[in-house]
Structure 1
């Protein structure tokens, strides 16, 4: 707040000086009264406009700094949690005489945590490359149905002990695009749905070819939903839905930012709608 206070003091001082000198000029030469008033109004209008723009810039920078701080805290937590879990599993295997099945279970859980870390690192690297315009998005024609099916299969084991990801994937739907970044889109949308849903609530994933030739990819959940006010903000970098319940969820605020950037590069659309009876539907339309 200190820079803003100094800024407001300077603005107040300049405006006070303007009125003071205008008063002196009018008193010295009353004939030029309207010229002084006119120029004063123009100067005051420009000064006010500049002050408003600078005020918005200060607030925007302050919000970005808060978001960056929250991002660093989130990343630290996201890194420490799986690392601590992996360390505990490995230490248990080392110190105790466990049967092979138990060892395999611990190793399997450790690998899941490593996959989670790998996904997070890939997200951060992709977001960095997109921001720096250093990612080329190499396009190819590939089977999008197989890609979604493979991602669903990988994430299914993270979600719940039962089949929580319910799919309706039309076979052999092909798209022209960057396989790696579109895979990140699919992963992030599904993981986002899981994150904001109750444990073991079904997540519906669908792929279909529309009559107009476009490819539809849908992810629908029965979670907490997104308010109309926040829908335009969710694709901003570091932004996370602001309810208290949402803040308890894990995440870095990069997932939906990556989704939007990748889809913009593919000239694709993404729609965010309310689900019935509750939750959110994300629909991606690819050419």
Structure 2
């Protein structure tokens, strides 16, 4: 931040110096023009013997003086506008470069944290199995936890790879009619068994809700929304997913009781790598890719997603499908 402020200060001083120099040169040109016209007028007065002709010559000189002054001011104004536009473009480019650098920094910080956490947890569980003689039930619990961490690590890598495919415009959706009720129920029970058992995640799924979806990408919509809701729900996690038919089309709602999303960030959260706050001080995990992927996939499905405040605390993500 100090580097940015220093750069802006230097740029402002440089621009101010150029502007003052330019205005000074323009004033000097106008004064020089007045002086030249004045000397010409004196010369005409000395040489002329015809009073009528003298008045005409002086009028011509004053007109010429006025035209040259207008020309100097006009050309100066155009130059000043071009200078202002150039400075503006430089600032836009600088801000964009700074934003991209911050995005890259935040992404590497977050992805490192995201990768280390499941790897460290899995390593600890496997070391425990290796070094201690445990009964069958404890062994199975440790193995299940290790597999769960591996599954989540795989989901993270899939998100990064999927985002790379989107960036390269390599994603192709294949739509087939699916029973969303069965599909979403299976996704929740596969990835969030522990959260469901703890009461942190509940769901209300209307049976027999059908729609044409891409079965390869659509699960990412559910997992990213649930992960996001669980991540930002504290101190007590209470996430609810609902599926129903609304106006004859699928309608999905994910509600949480977390910290919520400010109005200014509601449109930014679907931007790639965007995360509110500073990555070095943020305690919650994440890469800033989840909601970006959600929004992209839903656009391909001709679906809309909206964010609302969950009174008194938290957020509500609403997804409305339309005809593909």
TM-score (norm 2): 0.81
Q: Decide whether the 8 Å contact of 1:160 with 1:199 is kept in 2.
A: no
Question: Structure 2: any 5+ residue segments left out of the alignment?
Answer: 35-64
In the TM superposition, residue 122 of structure 1 has moved relative to its aligned partner by: 0.5
Match of 1:186 among 222, 225, 235: 222
Q: Decide whether the 8 Å contact of 1:197 with 1:221 is kept in 2.
A: yes
Instruction: Return closer, same or farther for 1:258/1:164 CA change in 2, 3 Å cut-off.
Output: same
Aligned to 1:25: 29
Aligned to 1:204: 240
Mapped to 1, the partners of 2:299 and 2:116 lie a distance apart of: 33
Aligned to 2:56: none
SS at match of 1:282: strand
In the TM superposition, residue 138 of structure 1 has moved relative to its aligned partner by: 2.1
SS at match of 1:180: coil
Mapped to 2, the partners of 1:67 and 1:243 lie a distance apart of: 10
Q: Decide whether the 8 Å contact of 1:4 with 1:58 is kept in 2.
A: no
Mapped to 2, the partners of 1:88 and 1:164 lie a distance apart of: 25
Q: Decide whether the 8 Å contact of 1:79 with 1:117 is kept in 2.
A: yes
Deviations 1:120-162 (A, max 9, x none): 0011111111111111122222122222111221233243642
SS at match of 1:113: helix
SS at match of 2:216: helix
Mapped to 1, the partners of 2:83 and 2:33 lie a distance apart of: 25
Q: Decide whether the 8 Å contact of 1:112 with 1:158 is kept in 2.
A: no
Q: Does 1:215 align with 2:219?
A: no
Mapped to 2, the partners of 1:160 and 1:178 lie a distance apart of: 26
- Larger Cα Rg: Structure 1 or Structure 2? 2
SS at match of 1:208: strand
Deviations 1:34-77 (A, max 9, x none): 22112222221232133223213312321221121111111111
SS at match of 1:70: helix
Q: Decide whether the 8 Å contact of 1:206 with 1:217 is kept in 2.
A: yes
Mapped to 2, the partners of 1:168 and 1:86 lie a distance apart of: 32
Where do 1:32-111 residues align within 5 Å?
32-111=68-147
In the TM superposition, residue 81 of structure 1 has moved relative to its aligned partner by: 1.3
Q: Does 1:231 align with 2:275?
A: no
Aligned to 1:147: 183
Instruction: Return closer, same or farther for 1:34/1:238 CA change in 2, 3 Å cut-off.
Output: same
Q: Does 1:138 align with 2:174?
A: yes
Mapped to 2, the partners of 1:44 and 1:263 lie a distance apart of: 47
Report how many residues are paired.
285
Match of 2:282 among 247, 251, 256: 247
Q: Decide whether the 8 Å contact of 1:145 with 1:174 is kept in 2.
A: yes
Mapped to 2, the partners of 1:181 and 1:11 lie a distance apart of: 50
Match of 2:231 among 195, 198, 220: 195
Mapped to 2, the partners of 1:142 and 1:93 lie a distance apart of: 41
Q: Decide whether the 8 Å contact of 1:26 with 1:36 is kept in 2.
A: yes
Q: Does 1:116 align with 2:152?
A: yes
Compare 77-86 and 117-126 and name the one that shifted more: 77-86
Mapped to 2, the partners of 1:175 and 1:47 lie a distance apart of: 56
In the TM superposition, residue 8 of structure 1 has moved relative to its aligned partner by: 4.5
